[in-house]
Amino acid sequence: MTQRTGYVAIVGRPNVGKSTLLNRILGQKLSITSRKPQTTRHQILGIKTEDDQQVIYVDTPGIHKLQDKAINRYMNKAATTAVKDVDLILMLIDRMRWTDEDEMVLNTIKGQRAPVVLVVNKVDFVKEKDELLPWLEEVSKKHNFEQIIPLSAKTGHNVDRLEHLIESYLPESQHFFPEDQITDRSSRFLAAELVREKIMRQLGDELPYAMTVEIEEFVHNGTLIDISALILVERATQKAIVIGDGGSRIKQIGQDARKDMEVMFDCKVMLKLWVKVKAGWSDDERALRSLGYDDRIG
């Protein structure tokens, strides 16, 4: 049986549904999601192997104009380096919208050798369906896209069509990963991401993006995983927000994260959370490196 293996980069501006699409394709949660832009901060590989085909998806941070802090520059670099040496690029946009940041994404990928498929996500929210086709024809003039596929990552509408198209771009190659492996990321990394997701979902607009999570302890002793996670914020007022009245908010964050961890790791989890103020970490390149923010980009 001839094996086929290929890399597919998922790119787009913040909040167009890149991580939701990856989770839908994999059939399980890997990349964290929230309604807040810039939820994804790292390149994350999602691996799907079926029979003789292995697709290695590269989920990326949203490409955005904001470059004022080191973490913003890091996220843009992580996204732009992901499109090098892949076999196919999926450019996601949000239904019938084309913004300056979409234009920025397109300019980033135009010079790459890989073909580009435009994926129009969230079409389930388009009320006037008869307006979609003329708009797609208009947006097709922006670039020589291989195809334009409207879909809904949330409901799964048309995702199978996209996957079928992706398969046609896979070169003949031995598989790079074991067939039961779904990511190259460690359990510690995934645990930190789940805590960060719950904070972003709980706090809404109360806490800016000056927050990250570091796993200080991750001990698996057969039937139980013991995890200690440190939540870093930049100001004392932010620490108070994360903790909440009488510790109520951090307790809820911990409960929600632990439930997802137990599903992901298929094991009981004991989770302890701490909050610490580390002023200026998001604009300190040395601090970012120590927190794992440079491990995938060159």
Judge whether 59 is annotated as a binding position: yes
Judge whether 155 is annotated as a binding position: no
Judge whether 123 is annotated as a binding position: yes
Judge whether 17 is annotated as a binding position: yes
Q: For the chain, how far is it from start to end, CA to CA, in angstroms?
A: 35
- Fill in the amino acid letter for 184: D
Judge whether 124 is annotated as a binding position: yes
* Among candidate residues 73, 34, 8, 56, the one with its CA nearest the CA of residue 285: 73
- C-alpha span between 169 and 121 (Å, rounded): 21
Judge whether 12 is annotated as a binding position: yes
Judge whether 61 is annotated as a binding position: yes
Q: Are 198 and 253 in contact (CB under 8 A)?
A: yes
Judge whether 19 is annotated as a binding position: yes
- The b-or-e profile of 179-192 (16+ CB within 10 A means b, else e) is eeeebebebbbbbb
Judge whether 44 is annotated as a binding position: no
- Fill in the amino acid letter for 280: G
Judge whether 180 is annotated as a binding position: no
DSSP string computed for 33-87: --SSTT---S-EEEEEEETTEEEEEEE-PPP-S--SSHHHHHHHHHHHHHTTT-S
Q: How far is CA 142 from the centre of its chain?
A: 26
Judge whether 195 is annotated as a binding position: no
DSSP state of 170: P
Within 13 Å of residue 222, how many CA atoms lie on the same side as its CB? 0
DSSP state of 201: H
Phi-psi region of 204 (alpha: psi -120 to 50; beta: other; left: phi over 0): left
At residue 206, φ and ψ (nearest 5 deg) are: -70, -30
Which segments are annotated as binding site? 12-19, 59-63, 121-124
Which segments are annotated as binding site for GTP? 12-19, 59-63, 121-124
